[in-house]
């Protein structure tokens, strides 16, 4: 399922630029930023996403 970044919830797993991430939390005050964990490496990342993303697993 493809969705806008604003509809993601904590725990959702999504694909962005070929990598798979799990949502930590949305940083609403900084429009478009998401705190997430790279599923492959386990590293925390802060991504700026301004396009729709494909949800792999909804929480």
**pLDDT tens column, 10-57:** 899 999 899 999 988 765 545 778 889 999 999 999 888 888 888 988
Q: Within 13 A of 31's CA, how many CA atoms are on the CB side?
A: 1
pLDDT, position 19: 93
Please identify, in words, the CATH class of the domain defined by 2-57: mainly beta
Token pair 């797993």 in the structure block, residue:
13
pLDDT, position 25: 74
pTM of the entire predicted model: 0.80
d(CA 29, CA 55): 23
């Amino acid at each position: 399922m493809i969705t806008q970044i604003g509809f993601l919830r904590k725990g959702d797993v999504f694909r962005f630029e070929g990598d798979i991430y799990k949502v930590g939390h949305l940083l609403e005050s900084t429009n478009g930023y998401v705190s997430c964990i790279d599923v492959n490496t386990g590293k925390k990342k802060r991504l700026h996403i301004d396009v729709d993303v494909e949800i792999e697993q909804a929480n």
